[in-house]
Structure formats: structure tokens, C-alpha cells
Structure 1
Amino acid sequence: MHPDTEKASLRQWLAVAAAILGAFTAILDIQITNSSLSDIEGALGASSDEGSWISTAYLMAEIIVIPLTGWLGSIFGLRRYLAVNTGLFIGFSVACALSTSLPEMILFRAGQGFTGGVLIPTAITIVRTRLPKSQQAVGIALFGLTATFAPAIGPTVGGWLTDNLSWHYIFYLNLVPGPLALALQLYALDPAPLKLGDLAEGDWFGIGLMATGLPALTFVLEEGQRKDWFGSPIIVEGTALAVLGIGGFILRELMAERPFINLRVLKNRSVGGGCLLMTVLGAVSFGSIYVIPVYCAQIQGYNAEQIGYVVMWSGLPQLVLFPAMPFLMRRFDPRLLVVAGTLLFALSCFINVGLTHDVGMDQLILPQLLRAAGQPLFTVPLSQMSTAGLAPRDTADASALSNMMRNLGGSIGIAMLSTMIDRREHMHFSVLAEAMTRNATLTQSRLAAMAQAMRAHVVDPVAAQGQALGLIASQARREAYVMAYGDAFWIIAVGLIVSLAAIPLLKKPQKAAGPIEAH
């Protein structure tokens, strides 16, 4: 049968569905706890600093296993490796819901990350190896949906479940797609022989360096802002570990005879350029998902369900847009689609640059819709180009590197934005305070009017004056934060525009490019 007319069997599509469903569940769990952290911290008796480890533990464990997935999948067989990790992921989800202390929660979240991290890169591998070339664009589009839709609706789902049921249900939720994904994996994937002998010949020194450097970097990025960055000895030590571990890991894998992950695939322009752009994608998509809820909670005073409503508008429209992606990729150069998606996302951020404290749900819908339109346009073509035309083993490594860089980009973006918002708020507040001092007469008039209004509720004139002064200070602080959030969106937009310089690195893929058979 001609490759352009070959069609996948039902069993092959079920294999793809199993992989996509597993990846969707794992990516959803990255963000789903964010809107419920305060409830979880309260139930477990943890402070906000301690509770941050609920997310950090997941990300640190996940970043270790993603690069290992291609190698371990070839040793244990993809069916066995995927099914075991899906089963363990379900078990750790239930254990998280039943946790009664913070150490238990951190341990089980790490287990979730270590097993869920397997489900993400294997999805691309299964699409590339199970579908004929003519239908791979559909599979890639489905994977793109998991990569952007899942984190977009994570806070919405988590907020709704927490407000209407309890935080435990954000973990019990995995009992719905998890067993279905497991059943499909066992039915649709062919068993493969074990190659346990390859474990003894594995590059364990390189694995050790990677398992030291990448989680150390994730820890620094996730905890740096809370611990005052390099003013904290533990952040300094973590940075040193990250530099030594990642530097050693890269050198080791480039020099080893049998590396556990083939970094040389990055010499392929599309793989290298795709990973670079995936880092930017992770930074802006996770960064915007971070900034919008924080703005809504701090400035507008929204609860979790209201925040979920706002965030929802960057997620749900993608369900309509993603089915069109295979058609668009057949009609247009995928690189042009990446440019179009990047510009749409940048435009949405430029709209938010002019934030005021009056900007709420209704005003945030348009930029959220623009993000929803932009994300599929650069996520799906990038996933396609970064794994096109590779041998199956190299496809697994390229997929692992692409997903690893997206996750690292997300951590970098959130760390950078949280730090910038904090520092820009201090700067804006200082400028406002100085302006109020220069205009002392106007400030005093405003203060006197507010104090007089307070006298209707406060008899003591000194107390009324103090409350009026506090109100003016809180208003100045609010405006400083609003301007800082506007600055954050400006940074995201400019970063996206600058990232377009990497587009020439991407090669135009051949029509319906598929994997090259390994010899």
C-alpha cells in the first residue's frame, strides 16, 4: 500500500489513545494542585514554604525520569514499562489523597512525578512508531492538545473540585482516565522481550550526573524566590550541584560509547531548534498560567472557582482549534504556523501590558482567547518538526529532550516572572511614594478627605487618620503590583518576539515525514 494512502488499524489508534490519555493525565497533575495548595497546607498543618514542596517534589522527580524513558523503554519493552508506570501513577495518586502528613504527601507526589514523567515522552514515540506517515499529523495534534490544554485547565479543574468537593478529589480524579489508559495499553501494545542485560552495561555514571544536576536546577528555580535566591546557602549549594551535574552529564553523554540518551540528535537543526523553542514555549505557557491566577487572586480577590473561569478561556477553545491542525499543517509551511502562533501569543501579552486594577473577568477573556488560538499553532508544528525523520530510538530521545526542555522552560519562566514581579513592585511602589511626597499638598488634601470620611465610623480622629493613611498605602501597593504584572506580560511578549530568531534553525519537514527504520 502506498504510504500516502495507508491507514492505521483500530488497534494502532487505541495504542495512540492510550499514550495520549496517559500523557494528558500526567501533564494535568503538574498544575492541578496549584489552586488547592492553601487547602492542602491547612489540612496537613504545613506552612506555605513547606507546602511548596508538594509541587517541587513532583517536578524534581519528573525531570529525572524523562531523559531515561527512551533507554528504559527499550530495556523493559514499551508495553510493560508504560503499563507498570501507569499502574504505579494511579497508586501514588490514591496515596496522595490519603496522605495525613506533609512528608507523606511529598513522598507520594515524588512518586507521581517519577511515574508520570514516563507517560509524557512515550506518547510521541508511540505516535511516530504506530501510525503511518499520512496520519501522524493527527497523532501529533492530539499530543499537542495534551501539552497545552492540560496545564491550561489544571487550575480550573483543581479549583472546582476543591471548592465543591474537597482537595482529595484532585488526586481521586486520576482514577477515571488512569485505569482506562492502562487497559488500552495492555490491549493495544505488543509485548517485547526483556533486555535486562543492557542494565549492567548502562551509563550509570552519566545517569548519576543527570539525576544530580537536573533536579538540583529544578529545586533552585522552584525555591529560589521563596528563599531569597543567592542570599540563601541552600540555593548556592543547589546551583553548584546543578552546574557540576548538568555540565558533567552533557560531557559524559557526548563522550560515552553507549550513552543512555543520545544528545547528538541536537545536531539535527530541527531537533535542536525545536528544543530551544520548546523551552520558550514552556516558559511563556506555564508563566502565563502562573501570572493570571496570581493577579486575579491578589488584585481582584477572586476565589479558586472564579480564577478557574478566567483560565478556562485559554483552554477550552483549543478543543475546537486542534482538530484543524492536521489540515493546516498539510496546507502551510509548519514554520509559518509557528510564527503565527508566536505572534498571536505575543499580541495577547501586549494587550495585558496595560493592566489596571479594574481589569477583571470580562476584560481578560480576549487575551485568553488569543493565547488559546496561538498555542496550538506553535505547539503542534514544533512537536512534528522536532521528531520528524528520525529512527525510532532517536525519536524517543528527541521526544524526551523536547519534553524535558519544555518543563525546564516552565520552571525558568515561573522563577523569572515571580522574581521580576516582586522586584518591580518594590520599584513601582518607591516611585509612587516619591511622587506622593513631591505632591505633599495634594496628598495631605486626599488624606484629610479620607480621614473625614472615616470619622463616620471611627470616633477617635487619630485612629481615623491612621486608617486613612493605611488605605492610601494599600492603594499605592495595589497599583505597584498592577504595574509589575503589566511588566511581566511585557517581558513574556518581548521574549516571544525574540524567540522568532530561532525559526531559521528549523528545516521544512518533508510531507508526512515519519520515522526512519533503524538498522
Structure 2
Amino acid sequence: MCVGMFIALLDIQIVSASLRDIGGGLSAGVDETAWVQTSYLIAEIVVIPLSGWLSRVFSTRWLFAASAVGFTLASLLCGVAWNIQSMIVFRALQGFLGGSMIPMVFTSAFVFFGGKQRVIAAATIGAIASIAPTLGPTLGGWITDHWSWHWLFYINLVPGLFVTLAVPMLVNIDSPDLSLLRRADYLGMLLLAVFLGCLEYTLEEGPRWNWLSDSTITATAWLSGICGVAFVMRSLTYDHPVVDLRALRDLNFALGCLFSFITGIGIFATIYLTPIFLGRVEGYSALQIGEAVFSTGVFQILTIPLYAYLAQRYDLRWILMAGLAVFALSMWDFTPITHDWGAHQLLLPQALRGAAQQLAVPPVVTLTLGGLPPARLRLASGLFNLMRNLGGAIGIAVCATILNDRTNLHFYRLAEHLNTTNESMNQWLAQSAGQFAAVGDPNGEFRALWQLTFREAQTLSYADAFLAITICFVLATVLVPLMRKVVPPPAPSADAH
């Protein structure tokens, strides 16, 4: 089941460093190609909160197996897509079919394991949940550089087939209950789908179209808000809601969802910021970007034994607090970023982020879901996992807006100092004028000055985005003591499954 979750999470970001190659192969523009990632995210974020109810209807075993086979077939279709329209449809199908595998792994671990085993299981799942999207750009860049973008999807075929065959043989923790179909909250499902789908579209496309100045973004924002309010009211009044919002009355669960949301911001927003900085400012290729961000995954893996040691001996709340604090420190270490930062300068902040992910994500899982009764666990797990992906979507949208707005602000501020009284600029222009005149470009030095100023303005905006993420993690760190301690239950007996 962890293999299935890994490939579903990996595919969120595996295309991020290769969108230019996919667009070139399918003769698509930048705006169209962006939908290769957006369609997957919209479909996945819609199905994740529904997975708890679906697993009760069809059972964990058969829903997971069906999701795996559907995800595998959709991956094959993505690899053979003949134009950008077919690619977008197949990516949406891939995200919808793969999304339900993610929360089922979390709930199954709490059924299979208890006591100290539960801590190790949560550490494993937490590591996979945060390392898979982190490795996406690295693996995607390497595959595209050495083979072709088609193999970004073909690599899912073997593990997908393995999961499809193995899960029905190995997983048997519940039975289907088709009677739930008769009293299902179909109106709630429709409201949830429209709410999350429009919200994800608004967040993904908003920065590109200047938010509410675009009529389509305004319409989807209003539709999302109206359906969101209606869904909350429906879920709190209906006897059998599709998502258990009442679980938010539990302080640990409410805080855990908040921490899941903030770790989603940290994981996905930094995966978004670092590759585009290296691509736009440094001019790195897809493979070079992958190699530069690879260190995060390495240090997260190296921290797994440390977490396992600490989790057996110390209160998970303090481990979580340390993880969030280290995450804040890693984001702070990104803020002195300059235009000449490359893999070597990024090593320390990325190493800290990798360690922080391992120290922060697993304790959140245990503290949030470990205190819920089994009857509420599955419905609540979908909400918990939704918050991480929603945090990533909102974090990316806010960071994209910061980059756009703050780049313009920094550019104007820098340009104010570029006048005839600036001796450094006058000397630079005098030296450059001769070089450009020699190649037949008499005004090239002014264009070069503009490019230089814009590059520095861009770099300063990345520092602003990392500072905003730092503030989020500082606030989260302060709230950790409000959580209560969760004692894992004893391990289930051998015949409990």
C-alpha cells in the first residue's frame, strides 16, 4: 500500500521539471502545458476526502486495488497521449484514480499496528508522504534527460501492476457495505467536488491571471465559496456526512489538521520555489534542477533512524515542535538567497528541510489520527490528508503571487537608484557600451542593464516568499504545546485481521 501511495504522490511533482519538454512534444503553449499538473491536482484533491466513505462501501482491499489498476492504466494513457487535450484528460483521470490510495494507507496502518509498532509505521508513512513529492522533480528531470518525457508515466506500470495484484492477497481488514449507497450524501459529494475543484482552479490559475481581475477566476472563486459554505452546513446537519467535520471538535485533530496544512505549505511551496529559481535565475536544465534539490530527500532518509530512536523515548509533541522549528530555520536559511546560489549554497537549507520533514510529519500523523476511535478514523483521515494537499495548493498560489507582485516592487525600487548620479552604473555602462558596439548592438548595454535589474528583483522576491513560509512555521511551532499526549494502544492480536 505504501508503494501505491508513493507513486500517487510522486506523480504530483514528477512533471514539474519537465513541462517544457512535454509541451514541446505535444506542440502546446505554456498556458496549456501548465494544465498537465493542474488537472492532476484538481482531480486528486476532490477524491481524497471521499476515500473514507468509498473504502467503507467497497472495502479497503478492493477500493485500493481498483484505484491501483485505474492509476496504472491512466499512466499508460498519459504516456501515449497524442495531443495536449488528451494529456490533460488522462492526467485528471490519473489523479482521480490515484488520490484515494493516499489516505487509505494512513488508516490501514492504525488498524494493523499498535504500541511501538504504530510509531514506526507512522514514521515510514510520514517519510513517504513528504519524500515522494520532494523526489518528483529530481526523478522527473533525470528521466526526461536520459530517456523521454513519456517515461515519466511508463515507470508507474510495473509498481502499479504489483500493487494491483498484491493488495487483494495481503490486505483484508474490512468488508464491503453496499447498503451505504442507499443513504449516501450525494448532494454533499456534489458540493464538495465543486467547492474543491473550483478552489484548486482558482489557486492554480489565479496568480497567472491576476486573480479577481479575470472574470473566470472571479466566477470560480465565488462558486467555490458558496459551495464550501453549503457543504459545511450540509455536513454538520446530515446524519451520514461524506466527511466527518465533527472530528474538528477534538483539539488534537483540529491542531493536527492545521499542522498538516502548514507542512503542506512547506513541502510543496519549496518544491515549487527552488526549481523555478534555478530555472529562471540560474538557467539550470531539468536534470541540473533535479540534482540540486536531491539533497533534501537524502537528508530526510538519513534522519529516519534518528526519529525512530527519539520517538521510542520522548513525547511526540516535543519531537514535532523540534521538527517545525528546524523547518522554520531551514526556510530562514533560504532568505539570504542571491543570484549566484546553486547546489552548493542550497545544500545546508535543503539538508535542514529534509531532516525537518522527517521530524515533523510522522508525529503529526500519530498525534492527529492516533487519538480517534476506529469508527471515525477513515472519514477523518480523508480530511487530514486533504489539508496537506490544500496547504500545498494555497502555499504555491501565495508564493506565485509574492513572486509576481514583489518582483515588480523590487524592480521599481532598484530602478530608482539607476540614474546619472549612480557612478557604479555609469562606469558599467561605459565599459559595456564598447562591447555591444563591437557586435553591432549600439544600445545593448541598456537592455543588459534591464535584464540585470530584473534578475536581482526576481531574486529578492524569492527571499520574500521564503520569509513568508518561515513565519507560518514559527506560528505552528508556538501552537504545539496545546496538543495533548497520545498513548498508542497495544498491538492487535495476530488474528485481528
Match of 1:497 among 464, 467, 474: 474
Match of 1:448 among 423, 426, 430: 430
Match of 1:474 in 2: 451
Mapped pair 1:68 → 2:50: yes
Mapped pair 1:362 → 2:350: no
Mapped contact 2:49–2:383 kept (Cα < 8 A): yes
Match of 1:330 in 2: 312
Mapped contact 2:48–2:386 kept (Cα < 8 A): yes
Distance in 1 separating the partners of 2:352 and 2:461: 22
SS of the equivalent of 1:300 reads: coil
Please state how far the C-alpha of 1:446 moved relative to its aligned partner.
2.5
Identity of aligned residues (%): 37
Mapped pair 1:206 → 2:188: yes
**Which stretch has the larger CA shift, 495-504 or 95-104?**
495-504
Mapped pair 1:353 → 2:335: yes
Mapped pair 1:89 → 2:71: yes
Match of 1:382 in 2: 364
Mapped pair 1:179 → 2:161: yes
Match of 1:118 in 2: 100
Match of 2:397 in 1: 415
Match of 2:495 in 1: none
Match of 2:115 in 1: 133
Report the number of matched residues.
Answer: 492
Mapped pair 1:430 → 2:407: no
1:376-414, CA deviations, whole angstroms, 9 ceiling, x for partnerless residues? Answer: 111010011110132223111222111100000000000
SS of the equivalent of 2:86 reads: helix
Aligned amino acid, residue 308 of structure 1? G
Mapped pair 1:144 → 2:121: no
Please state how far the C-alpha of 1:499 moved relative to its aligned partner.
2.0
Mapped contact 2:127–2:357 kept (Cα < 8 A): no
**Which stretch has the larger CA shift, 320-329 or 270-279?**
320-329
Mapped pair 1:486 → 2:463: yes
Distance in 2 separating the partners of 1:192 and 1:511: 21
TM-score, length of structure 1 as denominator length: 0.92
Match of 1:53 in 2: 35
Match of 2:85 among 100, 103, 106: 103
1:162-183, CA deviations, whole angstroms, 9 ceiling, x for partnerless residues? Answer: 0110000010111132122222
Q: What RMSD over aligned residues (CA atoms) do the two structures have, in Å?
A: 1.6
Match of 1:236 in 2: 218
**Which stretch has the larger CA shift, 474-483 or 321-330?**
321-330
1:206-264, CA deviations, whole angstroms, 9 ceiling, x for partnerless residues? Answer: 11110110111011001111111111000000001110111111111111011122111
TM-score, length of structure 2 as denominator length: 0.96
SS of the equivalent of 2:486 reads: coil
1:454-479, CA deviations, whole angstroms, 9 ceiling, x for partnerless residues? Answer: 33433xxxx32x10111111111111
Match of 2:8 among 10, 15, 26: 26
SS of the equivalent of 1:455 reads: helix
Mapped contact 2:325–2:477 kept (Cα < 8 A): no
Please state how far the C-alpha of 1:69 moved relative to its aligned partner.
0.8
Distance in 2 separating the partners of 1:383 and 1:58: 24
Aligned amino acid, residue 127 of structure 2? L
Match of 1:156 in 2: 138
Please state how far the C-alpha of 1:480 moved relative to its aligned partner.
0.7
Distance in 1 separating the partners of 2:282 and 2:310: 38
Distance in 1 separating the partners of 2:230 and 2:490: 34
Please state how far the C-alpha of 1:513 moved relative to its aligned partner.
7.2
**Which stretch has the larger CA shift, 331-340 or 86-95?**
331-340
Mapped contact 2:370–2:488 kept (Cα < 8 A): no
Aligned amino acid, residue 493 of structure 1? T
Please state how far the C-alpha of 1:440 moved relative to its aligned partner.
4.6
Which aligned pairs between 1:284-299 and structure 2 lie closer than 5 A? 284-299=266-281
Aligned amino acid, residue 360 of structure 1? G
Which aligned pairs between 1:251-270 and structure 2 lie closer than 5 A? 251-270=233-252
Aligned amino acid, residue 287 of structure 1? A
Distance in 2 separating the partners of 1:323 and 1:33: 30
Please state how far the C-alpha of 1:297 moved relative to its aligned partner.
0.8
Residues 513 and 132 of structure 1, relative CA distance in 2, 3 Å threshold: closer
Mapped contact 2:135–2:297 kept (Cα < 8 A): yes
Distance in 1 separating the partners of 2:63 and 2:347: 42
Residues 297 and 435 of structure 1, relative CA distance in 2, 3 Å threshold: same
Mapped contact 2:118–2:488 kept (Cα < 8 A): no
Aligned amino acid, residue 28 of structure 2? A
Structure 2 residues not aligned, in runs of 5+: 493-497
**Which stretch has the larger CA shift, 102-111 or 402-411?**
102-111
Match of 1:37 in 2: 19
Distance in 2 separating the partners of 1:514 and 1:191: 15
Distance in 1 separating the partners of 2:239 and 2:491: 27
Distance in 1 separating the partners of 2:159 and 2:484: 36
Aligned amino acid, residue 458 of structure 2? Y
Mapped contact 1:155–1:308 kept (Cα < 8 A): yes
Mapped contact 1:388–1:514 kept (Cα < 8 A): no
Please state how far the C-alpha of 1:31 moved relative to its aligned partner.
0.5
Mapped contact 1:386–1:398 kept (Cα < 8 A): no
Structure 1 residues not aligned, in runs of 5+: 1-18
Distance in 2 separating the partners of 1:298 and 1:102: 24
Match of 1:248 in 2: 230
Mapped contact 1:340–1:377 kept (Cα < 8 A): yes
**Which stretch has the larger CA shift, 321-330 or 119-128?**
321-330
Distance in 2 separating the partners of 1:87 and 1:511: 34
Distance in 2 separating the partners of 1:507 and 1:247: 30
